[in-house]
Amino acid sequence: MRKIVIAIDGYSSCGKSTTAKAVAAELGYAYIDTGAMYRAVTLYLLERDIAFDDLPRIEQALHDIHIAFKRNRKTGRNELCLDGVIREDEIRQMRISNSVSEVSVIPAVRHTLVRQQQRMGRKRGVVMDGRDIGTTVFPDAEVKVFMTADVLTRAQRRQQELALKNEHFELEEIAENLRKRDYIDSTRTESPLRRAPDAVLLDTTHMVIDEQVDFVLERVSASLFSLAALGNDQNGSEAVV
């Protein structure tokens, strides 16, 4: 069966990655969490005390850094690997969340990561989540979904996720971090967070994960159906007049 690209963009903590992972598992597609890649660059710069305005050192860092995803055989999950070491837990910490938007506005960082993401998805058969997948990375993605949810609902979900990792924060502090990231992500000049004109909107405020996954899978079926119909039409039919 033909393989397509599924782009899932939207605000932070809307359930993008949980939905994208489940859709990828259902279809046997690769899942690429592009936010993890921006987080990895942030961790790399912080660990080396590279200031976010020190362009020469950032460019050198982008040349040296090696970002990949490795499948954890036990959990079956893709984990972010920075210079050969799994750094999945560190990149999710609040100190990274607090700086990642500043790093992701840097054009050199975006160019490097966008190129890498395009290489990762060149054979199609991927579900990619992020902020600019449907607009910049794969503007020709066959399925585009733009996810949103009420900020307090998102903060509650994030608070629960962090609590599971023993990181405890007030709801308002998390909501403030989300608002700040939403603002920076949607106002930056280089590929800002924006709904692609052909992306379908998915508000997850009152939805559970299964409903979100079904919603995307329905879109995928519709897309595969119309691609197949188009293929049949082009290959199998002849003009009669």
Q: Which residues are annotated as a binding site for ATP?
A: 10-18
Size of the site for ligand DC (CB under 6 A): 13
Structure tokens at 135: 């607009």
Q: Does 100 bind ligand DC (CB under 6 A)?
A: yes
131 scored as a contact of ligand DC (CB under 6 A): yes
The DSSP H or E segment spanning 231 is: helix 209-236
Query: Between residue 46 and residue 85, which ones bind ligand DC under the rule CB under 6 A?
Result: none
Q: Site for ligand DC (CB under 6 A): which residue of 8, 20, 29, 39?
A: 39
Segment interacting with ligand DC (CB under 6 A) among 58-66, 68-76, 100-108, 211-219: 100-108
For the segment 164-183, give every residue that binds ligand DC (CB under 6 A).
181
Told to check if 219 binds ligand DC by CB under 6 A, we report no
Report residue 75 as tokens.
């959990």
Among 4, 21, 27, 104, contact with ligand DC (rule: CB under 6 A): 104
Tokens encoding 70 = 């490795």
Distance CA 94, CA 96 (A): 5
For the chain, the distance separating the N- and C-terminal CA atoms, rounded to the nearest angstrom, is 32
Smallest gap from Cβ 226 to ligand DC, in A, equals 27
Residues near 231 by Cβ (< 8 Å), separated by ≥ 6? 2
The smaller minimum CB distance to ligand DC, of residues 50 and 94, is found at 94
Contact criterion met (CB below 8 Å) for 105 and 190: yes
CB of residue 102 vs ligand DC: minimum separation in angstroms?
Answer: 9
Would you count residue 132 as binding ligand DC (CB under 6 A)? yes
SS3 22: helix
φ, ψ for residue 6 (rounded to 5)? Answer: -115, 115
Judged by CB under 6 A, which stretch of 60-68, 96-104, 165-173, 232-240 contacts ligand DC? 96-104
CA–CA separation, 173 vs 235, rounded Å? 57
Q: Are 43 and 67 in contact (CB under 8 A)?
A: no
Q: Does 38 bind ligand DC (CB under 6 A)?
A: yes
Binding site for ligand DC (CB under 6 A): 12, 34-35, 38-39, 100-101, 104, 130-132, 181, 185
